[in-house]
A and B are shown apart, each in its own frame.
Chain A
Amino acid sequence: MTDFTLSRWKVETRTKASATFAIVAALVILLAFAAPLFVSRSVLQDLFFILTMLVLAQNWNLLAGYAGLVSVGQQAFVGFGAYAMFAFVILAGLDPLAAILLAGIASALLAIPTAFFLFRLQGAYFAIGSWVIAEVVRLVLAQWKMLGGGTGTSLPREAIRDTPELKLVGDLFGVKSSGAGDILTYWLALLLAIATIGLVYRLLRSKQGLGLAAVRDSQEAARSVGVDARRMKTLVYLAAAFGTGLAGALIYVQKARISPDAAFSVVDWTAYVIFIVVIGGIGTIEGPIVGVIVFYILQNLLADYGSWYLLILGLIGIVIMLFAPRGLWGLFAERTGIQLFPVRRRLTGGPLSASKKGEPHG
Chain B
Amino acid sequence: MTSALDTIIQGIQLGGLYALFAAGLSLVFGIMRLVNLAHGDLIVLAAFLILALVTALGLNPFVAALVAMPLMFAVGWALQFYLLNRTLGTDILPPLLVTFGLSIVIQNGLLEGFSADSRRISVGGLESASLALGPVNVGVMPLLTLASAIAVIVGLNQLFYRTSLGRAFRATSDDPLTAGLMGIQPKRIFAAATGIAMVVVTIAALYLGTRANFDPTIGPARLIYAFEAVIIGGLGSLWGTLFGGIVIGIAQTFGAAINPEWQILAGHLAFLVVLLVRPRGLFPRAVD
Instruction: Write the residues of chain A forming the contact surface with B, with a CB cutoff of 8 angstroms.
Output: 64, 68, 70, 72, 117, 120-125, 127-129, 131-132, 135-136, 139-140, 142-143, 150, 266-267, 271, 274-275, 278, 282, 306-308, 310-311, 313-315, 317-318, 321-322, 325
Contacts and interface: CB of A to CB of B under 8 A. Distances in A.
A70 B96 contact: yes
Given A122-B288, A128-B35, A136-B269, A68 B92 contact: yes
Contact of B268 (A139, A150, A307): A139
Contacts of B98: 318, 321-322
Given A139-B268, A282-B93, A128 B224 contact: yes
A contact face: mostly helix, strand, loop, or mixed = helix
A124 B132 CA distance: 43
Given A139-B268, A311-B108, A322-B86, 12 more contacts: A64-B93, A68-B92, A72-B37, A127-B35, A127-B96, A128-B223, A129-B231, A132-B227, A135-B268, A314-B102, A321-B98, A321-B101
Contacts of B276: 117
B224 A131 contact: yes
B contact face: mostly helix, strand, loop, or mixed = helix
Nearest to A322: B86
A274 B86 contact: no
Interface in B238-288: 261, 264-265, 268-269, 271-272, 275-276, 279, 288
A317 B111 CA distance: 19
A228 B42 CA distance: 39
Contacts of A135: 221, 224, 264, 268
B126 to A, nearest CB: 32
Contact of A124 (B96, B101, B108, B269): B96
A120 B108 contact: no
B279 A120 contact: yes
A264 to B, nearest CB: 12
B92 A131 contact: no
A308 B279 CA distance: 40
Contacts of B271: 132
A315 B265 CA distance: 33
Interface in B194-235: 220-221, 223-224, 227-228, 231
A121 B230 CA distance: 12
Nearest to B288: A122
A310 B106 CA distance: 10
Listed from nearest, the 9 A-B pairs whose CB atoms lie closest are A124-B35, A314-B104, A307-B108, A314-B105, A311-B108, A317-B101, A120-B279, A318-B101, A307-B111
Q: Which of B101, B223, B231, B279 has the most CB of A within 10 A?
A: B101
Contact of A322 (B35, B94, B227, B228): B94
Nearest to A282: B93
